[in-house]
Amino acid sequence: MPPVLSTFVSVIRPSDTVARLGGDEFVVLCEDLATDRVEAENELLEIADRLHRVLQAPIGEPDAPQWISASIGSHVIVGTGDPIREALGSADVAMYRAKALGRSRTEVFDEALRREALERIRIAAELRHAVDRDELHVVYQPIVDLRSGAVRAAEALLRWEHPELGSVPPTRFIDIAEESNVIVQLGEFVIDDVCATLACHPQIEYVTINVSARQLATSDFVETIVGALRRHDVAPERLAIELTENVLIDAVGSSLRQLDDLRAMGVGIGVDDFGTGFASLTYLKRLPVTFVKVDRSFVDGLPDEADDRSIVEAVVGLAHALDLLPIAEGVETEAQAAFLTALDCPMAQGHLYGRPAPIDELDLSTS
């Protein structure tokens, strides 16, 4: 028996069954629980506690110990029939919640999670038609030269107006679109809109687009970009993509090659939400990165919070040292702008300069 399975077996009850679902996912099936739901849930939580505790011990060689943690989702089903698949799905939803809330914890599938899961299913289904039904549009947030205040570039952000759900913010639909792969279709829509916009607005130096892991992993991602640039007769230097640190760190094989190809063509490549992901910075040397977005969470505390001041100073300094362009995000006040200007941060975006809006509403007169 693989060591991890025998570790599990050492703490579950003799009547329980443990199985590996695949990858790093395991299932423990506990039968003979109390007939009362709350009592049964408590029994499951006790078993989950024992699993967490036994996993806390270091594994591997004593001179090179390693630690693992688990996120556990649980769900009680009552009665017979064939609800196992459904139960696994529900436990899975609860496990994702445990992961999102910080790992090494257990979440029980409850009514709120059920509603959330149903809403996600609805959003996924509705999203499939969003492009065909013309419900999506792209808005542009100006990126300005901090010293002159002139608009130099813009970030493209996706908007979804659903006839019944109203305007659904990207924070609610992007990760669902990723899970269901619809993100590729949404991404193509954004790339085409951006290229059309660039063609009509020669004053804008470049536009950045947000690209998710799934998009970068699609084998024809570069072709999609090249196709749109050609269709609208736009120079590749006028397009830049933003990827989060985690996406960049995980980029291997064909994703990496696609990044190199895009860079070789002249497309800019930036790190979004810089500083919020992994601490390792080696990827900045390894990958063809050209700009970093100083995350809003750090700009927020400027100029009063000492920690935020130090982090922003360090990030802007690092960008300069590595010859990367720093762009500050979420600038809302003159005081933040003054602090960033004093640091020699050349570019910024944020509500102080303009909210994301249809391209025709951008003030390009000073560009």
Closest by CA to 289, choosing from 314, 264, 324, is 324
Q: Which of residues 98-137 bind ligand C2E (CB under 6 A)?
A: none
| Rounded Cα distance, 302 and 336, in Å | 5
Closer residue to Ca ion, CB minimum distance, 18 or 271: 271
Closest by CA to 70, choosing from 41, 50, 90, 84, is 50
What amino acid occupies position 169? P
Q: What six digits make up the tokens of 80?
A: 């017979």
| Rounded Cα distance, 10 and 63, in Å | 25
Residue from 71, 106, 197, 212 touching ligand C2E (CB under 6 A): that is 212
Residue from 74, 141, 210, 349 touching Ca ion (CB under 5 A): that is 210
120-128, 160-168, 256-264, 343-351 -> range binding ligand C2E (CB under 6 A): 343-351
| Rounded Cα distance, 187 and 185, in Å | 5
24-32, 116-124, 204-212, 252-260 -> range binding ligand C2E (CB under 6 A): 204-212
Q: Which of residues 306-345 bind Ca ion (CB under 5 A)?
A: 329
Collect all residues with Cβ–Cβ distance below 8 Å to 357 and sequence separation of at least 6.
139, 140, 141
68-76, 198-206, 209-217, 258-266 -> range binding ligand C2E (CB under 6 A): 209-217
Residue from 57, 78, 351, 358 touching ligand C2E (CB under 6 A): that is 351
Rg for the chain, CA atoms, rounded: 24
Closer residue to ligand C2E, CB minimum distance, 211 or 262: 211
Collect all residues with Cβ–Cβ distance below 8 Å to 10 and sequence separation of at least 6.
54
Residue 272 near Ca ion by CB under 5 A? yes
State the residues that interact with ligand C2E by CB under 6 A: 141, 157-158, 169-171, 174, 190, 210-212, 272-273, 330, 332, 349-351, 356
State the residues that interact with Ca ion by CB under 5 A: 210, 242, 272-273, 293, 329
